[in-house]
């Protein structure tokens, strides 16, 4: 059976959440010092990178829902304590699923107008936005796993194909 575009996007969002869960599980073994230490990532520390992902996920969700974002910078503090990321990401993933639920192909391919962080107007489809969102998450999760291996810790397997047996 060939999945519909809507089913594919729902699976991508489910993968996005699955990857967060796996990564957060591995990060739980770090000391607070390791977790917050500058380690050469674009957003400084592992915490800074996770926080950036949390902020960006919500910025894009606000854009596609036609709502104002509560964040004005890509490094605004969304979650101050690492224990809060589990719930924050779970709530965000559920909101993405709800936003995508019941949309047909025309709605997924319809243009969405938004403004970037500099206030410049842009237009993209929901298909492109969700694809970008998940790819962006993969990029930064990859940086975090590199930081884990630099600390001598195992990196969780986060590949999409490994998630499929566990996804709805």
- The full DSSP string for 86-133 is HHHHHHHHHHHHHHHTT--HHHHHSEEEEE-TT--EEEEEHHHHHHHH
CA atoms within 13 A on the CB side of 98: 9
CA distance 38 to 36: 7
Question: What would the pLDDT profile of 127-163 be if each residue is shown by its tens digit?
Answer: 999 999 999 999 999 999 999 999 999 999 999 999 9
Reduce the DSSP state of residue 41 to 3 states and report it.
strand
Q: How confident is the model at residue 87 (pLDDT cuts 50, 70, 90)?
A: very high
Residue 1 pLDDT exceeds 90:
no
Alpha helix (H) residue ranges in the chain: 5-27, 32-36, 46-64, 85-100, 105-109, 126-150, 160-163
- So where are the chain's domains? 5-166
Share of the chain above pLDDT 90, in %: 98
Domain 5-166 has CATH 1.20.120.450: yes
Mean pLDDT of 89-93: 98
CA distance 136 to 125: 16
* Residue 168: per-residue pLDDT: 85
Q: How confident is the model at residue 123 (pLDDT cuts 50, 70, 90)?
A: very high
């Amino acid at each position: 059976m060939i999945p519909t575009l809507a089913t594919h996007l729902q699976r991508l969002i489910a993968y996005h959440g699955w990857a967060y869960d796996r990564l957060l599980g591995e990060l739980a073994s770090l000391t607070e010092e390791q977790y917050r230490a500058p380690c050469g990532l674009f957003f400084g520390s592992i915490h800074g990178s996770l926080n950036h992902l949390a902020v960006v996920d919500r910025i894009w969700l606000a854009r596609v829902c036609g709502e104002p974002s509560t964040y004005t910078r890509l490094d605004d503090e969304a979650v101050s304590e690492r224990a809060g990321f589990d719930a924050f990401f779970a709530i965000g993933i559920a909101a993405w699923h709800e936003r995508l639920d019941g949309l047909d192909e025309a709605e997924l391919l319809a243009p969405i107008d938004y403004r970037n962080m500099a206030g410049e107007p842009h237009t993209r489809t929901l298909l492109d936005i969700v694809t970008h969102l998940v790819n962006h998450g993969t990029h930064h999760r990859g940086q975090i796993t590199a930081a884990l291996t630099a600390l001598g810790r195992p990196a969780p397997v986060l590949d999409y194909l490994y998630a499929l047996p566990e996804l709805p």
